Each structure stands twice: as C-alpha cells, then as structure tokens.
Structure 1
Amino acid sequence: MPDTHLAPAAEAIARVHLPRLGAEPENIRALIERHAGENWVRTLALNPDTARRFASYFEDLFRVNGARLPLHERELIAVAVSATNGCGLCEIHHTIALGEALGDAVRARRIALDLHLAVLSPRERALVEFAVKVTKTPKQIDESVFHNLRAAGLDDADIIEALEVSAWFNHTNRIFIALGVQPDEKYFFRDAQDAQ
C-alpha cells in the first residue's frame, strides 16, 4: 500500500496538502505520469475530475497539429496572458515552450520579459495586443480590434481560436495563482542551460 502521508511543508508546491508521489489514486497516476509529475498536475490531481477535464483541454488546445493558429502563436498568447496576469508558473512553462516552438529560447525570454519592447511581426503584435486586451479590458474590444486582427492576416475563425487561447489562459492563471502552485525546479535548470 502506498504511503499516503502528506509531503513535509519544506516540499510544499501549492497551498493545498498534496500526498507524496505514488500515493495518488490508481486511475489518475497515468495522467500525472503523462505530464512528467509536474506540480500543476499533481495539485489538480487532488480532484481527479478537475485534473482530467483540465488536462484534456490543455492537451487538445496545445497539440502540435490540427489547430488554426500555429503552435508558436498559441504559445505566444499563453506567454502574453500569463505575463500580464503575473502567473509565474504559466509564464515560465510557456516561455520555454515558446522558445521550443520558435527555435529561439532567447527571443522567447525577451518576449516574456517585456511585451512592449519585444520584436514581433505585425501578426504577432496584433495577437499580443488582443490577448492583453482580453485579459485586462475585454469590454473595450470592438470592431476596430477585429479589423486590426484581420489586417494582420487572421480570419474570423483564427480570431475565435486566439480568443479561446486568451480566455483559457486567464482561467488557468487564476487557478494556479489562487492555488499558489510553484514552478517546477526543472524549469529553472533548463532556463540556465538554454542561456549557455
């Protein structure tokens, strides 16, 4: 029988009390393993239904193929929203993913550090401005915003997907900020390796 004692406070990765790895229910273990035992999935796994719903949406939204927007644009939106909201977990995770999608970890970090100074294409700039507006002032989105997105080469179906990614990351950020989920240590070690 697995050890179901709670992790010591020194190992706290969130504001909720997590069982040690291996103590989770059998039916959720594969989900945790599929996501490399990362802190976010371990935290959500306290409620298996929440973890399954969340992971299913995440996996579908960030699949490499089969979406309207290329992966690097979806990751760009994730970084823009997470940086705007101050969600350290999502910001570092998706900055790394953006770097992988772009093939340029340094550019991804520059984007995350300062959206205003980042060198972006007109289409990327339009997506970032839209994502920030969805995050901060959604009632100010009007026809001119849609006109700017169309002028940057997005059609209406693309705009709906950009909105979906922006809104979903606002949802995600609020969950992980409120739960106080800590970024995994591997994110920092990887970041240091990329910089060398």
Structure 2
Amino acid sequence: MSDPILADDAVISRLGPADESGLPDDVRALLADHHHENWIQVLSVNPDTARRFAAYFGSLFAAKGRQLPLAERELIAVVVSATNGCGLCEIHHTRALGDVLDDPARARRIALDHHLAGLSPRETALAHLAEKITRSPKVVEPADLQQLRTLGFSEPEILEAVETIAWFNHTNRIFISLGVLPDEKHFH
C-alpha cells in the first residue's frame, strides 16, 4: 500500500489538517500567526496540542530574553533536524538561521554538513553536543559540558542548549512520524 502523502499533492501529512471552521478562536489565531503552515495545521487537529506546541516554541525561540543568542538556538535546530533527517524542521530552521545570520548560503552549508561549514569553536561545541545528544544522550560526559564552560558558556546557557536540543528531538519525532511535508514556500 502506498503512503498517502505521496498519493495526493493536497495531503500535507499522514493526518488530515484540522477543519478550521470548527476550531476555537485562539487556535484559528495560531493558524493565522503561523501563516497556515502545514505543521500548525496538522497540530491543530488537537487544539490542546497546537496550543502547547506553539507556546513552547514561542518561548524557546523568542528573539530576545533568552540565555543563548537566537543564531545559536537556530544552529542547534538545524544540526538536530539534519541529524534526525527531519526535512520539515531542517528546511524551516535553515531558512531562519540564514535570516538571523544574514547569510543563507552559510546556513545551507551548516545544514548539509556542519563539520565542513567553518564554525567557530563555540558553534562547533554546540553542534557537537547537539549531534551527540541526538544520536546517543547516554554518551554525554562531563567533559562535553566542561568544553562548553571553557568556551565561556554559563550554566544557564548550557541548560538552555540541552533544552533546545531535546526539544528539537521531540519536535522532529512528531513531524517525522506524522510525515508532515514542508510548505511549498520553503522551496522558492
């Protein structure tokens, strides 16, 4: 039996999009705030899921008021998503990283292979930790965190890095499992 996401171009995931007319006003507002992108349409099938997800994402990726600069949080999102093979998150956050860096080509190089992207020592340490936690969190050692401290990371920054890495692993697993397709706009 073929996968339904390949059989019909109008299908955006293995779940159908929510019937917007039956959604609560606040969830319709979330859809509008996120430009009716496929990911929020799919999550809106369960309004509570859409609310939780959007609130956490909004908090974790606020432009200011966080421990790590937005560019470092986007770097983590790209490395985790590329490692997991989550095309939806990888393309979305590669574009976001390109915007925050004002260098879309560099962001694409990072997504293709961060080992060859000329990262700074600080970026390399974050990417290494993101890859390690994504592949096998049990092999993280005190030395991994000490390397971050040596590079000037504070304890709150280290915790936010781990939180961001873990959250993207969570997010990737949702979208990979549901087969959520990236929106067409990400390909132009």
Q: With the length of structure 1 as denominator, give the TM-score of the two structures.
A: 0.89
Q: CA deviation at 1:119?
A: 0.8
1:73 maps to what in 2? Answer: 72
1:49 maps to what in 2? Answer: 48
Distance 1:139 1:19 in 2: 38
Distance 2:175 2:22 in 1: 20
Q: CA deviation at 1:147?
A: 1.1
Distance 2:101 2:22 in 1: 36
Structure 1 unmatched runs, 5+: 1-7, 190-196
1:23 aligned onto 2:7: no
Moved more, 113-122 or 11-20: 11-20
Distance 2:162 2:24 in 1: 36
Structure 2 unmatched runs, 5+: 1-6
Residue type at the aligned position of 1:112? A
1:167 maps to what in 2? Answer: 166
Q: CA deviation at 1:9?
A: 3.6
Q: CA deviation at 1:25?
A: 1.1
1:125 maps to what in 2? Answer: 124
Distance 2:123 2:95 in 1: 17
Residue type at the aligned position of 1:146? L
2:3 maps to what in 1? Answer: none
Aligned residues: 181
CA deviations on 1:89-142 (whole Å, 9 max, x unpaired) are 000000000001111000000000112111100000000000111101111111
Distance 1:177 1:79 in 2: 15
Distance 1:132 1:14 in 2: 26
CA contact (8 A) 2:18 2:44 kept: no
Q: With the length of structure 2 as denominator, give the TM-score of the two structures.
A: 0.93
Distance 2:154 2:178 in 1: 36
Moved more, 159-168 or 9-18: 9-18
SS of the equivalent of 1:175 reads helix
Residue type at the aligned position of 1:104? D
SS of the equivalent of 2:9 reads helix
